[in-house]
């Protein structure tokens, strides 16, 4: 027990975490490529055409997993922020900082693909529906966290201040999720449900699941790459980092 604890806490030092991240990246990247290739193949070639929406529905294989990831990554970022504040562990803050841009990217992707789905289906690029609006607010929140971090010169303070902001913003994620029930609007209710009988064909569901897994692995790979850059940047005075950079 004590031994496993010792190996776990070892990675709270940037120097130990840097090579671990390096070793994990190829695995996550490989899995991401396999999942995305399989998901896109099933989604675009195997899954049947929808009887009401035609082929335009196929954007959901990107849209829905991107929307899931945008919310999930915010929670993960806030989780790292909480760990950082609670344990005062520097790599946790670095992970939170590394996840933010990927989360913002997926939020943008969800909004962008949503617009492309909305035009043929609803006849409008954008409607001021609760879920769309909440997703837009999520994008603002990612921007807020990143900009607050960038505006504070003292890194220790920047880490902790943006961590507090990320945790405050987490209140918004359940509001996004339940907004469909709170406000009665245009956006269709959740099509995927764990309790009710599935309304979608099994192939569509599996394609969506595989795509979500692929996005998840992609996020892990990219966040780890980014955290390695952040570590090297912050530890540039340390001798091991200078060797790593080849300086």
Partner 1 sequence: MSQAGLSAVVRAIVRRDVLLAFRRQADVMTAVFFFVIVASLFPLGVSPEPAVLRMIAPGVLWVAALLSCLLSLGRVFTADYQDGVLEQMVLIPHPLAVLVSAKVFAHWVVSGLPIVVLSLLLGVQFGLEGEALGVLALSLLLGTPALSLIGSIGAALTLGVRGGGMLVALLVLPLFIPVLIFGSGAVSSTVSGIGAEANLSLLGAALVLALPLAPWAAAAAVRIAVE
- Contact residues for partner 1, defined by CB under 8 A: 85, 133, 137, 140-141, 143-144, 147-148, 151-153, 157, 160-161, 164-165, 167-169, 171-172, 175, 183
Helix (H, G, I), strand (E, B) or coil at 58: helix
Place of tokens 């309790």: 195
Q: Is the Cβ–Cβ distance between 48 and 194 less than 8 Å? A: no
Task: Provide, rounded to whole angstroms, the least separation between the CB of residue 141 and partner 1.
Answer: 5
Task: Provide, rounded to whole angstroms, the least separation between the CB of residue 175 and partner 1.
Answer: 6
Cβ proximity to partner 1: between 3 and 153 the closer is 153
Cβ proximity to partner 1: between 45 and 171 the closer is 171
Cβ proximity to partner 1: between 18 and 80 the closer is 80
Cβ proximity to partner 1: between 115 and 152 the closer is 152
Task: Provide, rounded to whole angstroms, the least separation between the CB of residue 190 and partner 1.
Answer: 20
Task: Provide, rounded to whole angstroms, the least separation between the CB of residue 229 and partner 1.
Answer: 23
Tokens coding 21: 């991240």
Task: Tell me the CA distances in angstroms from 239 to 84, 179, 242, 246, one per residue in order.
Answer: 25, 51, 5, 11
Q: Is the Cβ–Cβ distance between 114 and 131 less than 8 Å? A: no
Cβ proximity to partner 1: between 176 and 220 the closer is 176
* Helical H segments across the chain, by residue range: 2-10, 14-41, 60-87, 90-122, 130-151, 155-169, 172-182, 202-234, 239-245
Task: Provide, rounded to whole angstroms, the least separation between the CB of residue 77 and partner 1.
Answer: 15
Cβ proximity to partner 1: between 141 and 208 the closer is 141
Cβ proximity to partner 1: between 100 and 212 the closer is 100
Q: Is the Cβ–Cβ distance between 165 and 171 less than 8 Å? A: no
Task: Provide, rounded to whole angstroms, the least separation between the CB of residue 226 and partner 1.
Answer: 22
CA distance 180 to 11: 41
Tokens coding 198: 């599935």
**What angle do the packed helices 90-122 and 14-41 form, to 10 degrees?**
20
Task: Provide, rounded to whole angstroms, the least separation between the CB of residue 168 and partner 1.
Answer: 5
Bridge partners (DSSP) listed for residue 50:
54
């Amino acid at each position: 027990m004590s031994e496993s604890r010792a190996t776990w806490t070892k990675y709270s030092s940037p120097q130990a975490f840097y090579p671990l991240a390096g070793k994990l990246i190829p695995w996550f990247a490989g899995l991401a490529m396999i999942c995305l290739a399989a998901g896109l193949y099933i989604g675009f070639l195997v899954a049947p055409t929808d009887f009401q929406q035609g082929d335009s529905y196929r954007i959901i294989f990107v849209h829905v997993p991107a929307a899931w990831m945008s919310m999930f990554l915010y929670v993960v970022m806030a989780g790292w922020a909480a760990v950082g504040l609670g344990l005062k562990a520097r790599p946790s803050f670095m992970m939170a900082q590394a996840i933010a841009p990927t989360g913002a990217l997926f939020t943008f992707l969800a909004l962008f693909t949503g617009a492309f789905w909305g035009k043929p289906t609803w006849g409008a690029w954008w409607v001021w529906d609760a879920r769309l609006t909440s997703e837009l607010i999520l994008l603002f929140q990612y921007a807020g966290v990143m900009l607050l971090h960038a505006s504070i010169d003292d890194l220790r303070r920047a880490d902790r201040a943006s961590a507090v902001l990320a945790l405050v913003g987490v209140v918004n994620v359940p509001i996004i999720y339940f907004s469909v029930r709170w406000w009665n609007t245009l956006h269709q209710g959740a099509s995927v449900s764990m309790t009710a009988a599935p309304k979608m064909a099994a192939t569509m569901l599996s394609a969506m699941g595989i795509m979500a897994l692929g996005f998840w692995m992609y996020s892990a790979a990219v966040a780890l790459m980014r955290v390695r850059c952040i570590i090297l940047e912050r530890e540039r005075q340390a001798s091991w980092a200078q060797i790593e950079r080849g300086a």
